[in-house]
Amino acid sequence: MRTIIIAGNWKMYKDLSETRELVAALKAAMPSLPEHVESVICPPYPSLALAGELLKGSPFHLGAQNMSQHDEGAYTGEVSAKMLKATGCTFVILGHSERRQYYGETNELINAKARKALSAGLRPIICVGETLDEREKGVTGEVITTQIKGVLASIPPQDMARSVIAYEPVWAIGTGRTATPQQAQEVHQVIRKMVAQLYDWALAERIVIQYGGSVKPDNAAEILSQNDVDGALVGGACLKADSFSAIIRAARQ
Ligand code: PEP
């Protein structure tokens, strides 16, 4: 049985006092997690060190929403893997569609970041997903295949086993429009087959593939019940402890 990983992407929400409140509420709502379920919260950079302190002794992992592909240097505004680790991060989201769309991140750059994260001992949550236009043109499979090949290039098998892939159809992020469980399952199967082709089936069977795109307490159980859906990357619904904890509970219903 694969572990289910529910990750919360706080995006550019929650200052320090709000971080304090949300972490306290999450810890109170979920002093422990269901068996075989892990959860990661990904606050913005300024809140990471505080969240890392507050999460000590709790079942939640800490993750960042982005990182540099470089170790260190004159890269104004960037944050390295080593810096993230020092705050207590064990995960990092890479290649979120908002990074691709607003900051021009390419598969090549995301791949460089993923390799850097892995070599630093972080687990990357690598995002892929098609736009509405691509889905309507019927090219979802090709788009996902190209993205997967690009973002996973040269990642050795032992590192791949620690990586998480998040399938996030761009048209479902923050829109309230969710992929049907069948649509999600179809693409997750394509991704698992791709991983099997690039590596082997034993590895593909172990990889956690999350779905992201308007996951809420009322649709989480059905999406997460699909064979190849091994977790969720949650945006809007992770900003409140009651909705995020309801999604975590739905993972093992
Ligand atoms: C996301 O930010 O990755 C996401 C899936 O957002 P939402 O749940 O709000 O659609």
Ligand 1: centre distance to CA 200 (Å):
30
Q: What is the pLDDT along the chain (253 residues), one digit of tens a residue?
A: 899 999 999 999 999 999 999 999 999 999 999 999 999 999 999 999 999 999 999 999 999 999 999 999 999 999 999 999 999 999 999 999 999 999 999 999 999 999 999 999 999 999 999 999 999 999 999 999 999 999 999 999 999 999 999 999 999 998 888 899 999 999 999 999 999 999 999 999 999 999 999 999 999 999 999 999 999 999 999 999 999 999 999 998 7
Residues labelled catalytic: 96, 168
Residues with CB under 6 A from ligand 1: 9, 96, 168, 173-174, 212-215, 233-237
What is the residue with the minimal CA distance to atom 2 of ligand 1? 235
d(CA 252, CA 247): 10
Instruction: Determine the residue of 173, 218, 243, 247 to mutate for testing ligand 1's pocket, defined as the one with the most ligand atoms within 8 A of the Cβ atom.
Output: 173
Nearest atom (ligand 1) to Cα of 173:
10
Ligand 1: centre distance to CA 52 (Å):
22
What is the residue with the minimal CA distance to atom 3 of ligand 1? 235
Taking the model in full, what pTM does it have?
Answer: 0.98
What is the residue with the minimal CA distance to atom 7 of ligand 1? 235
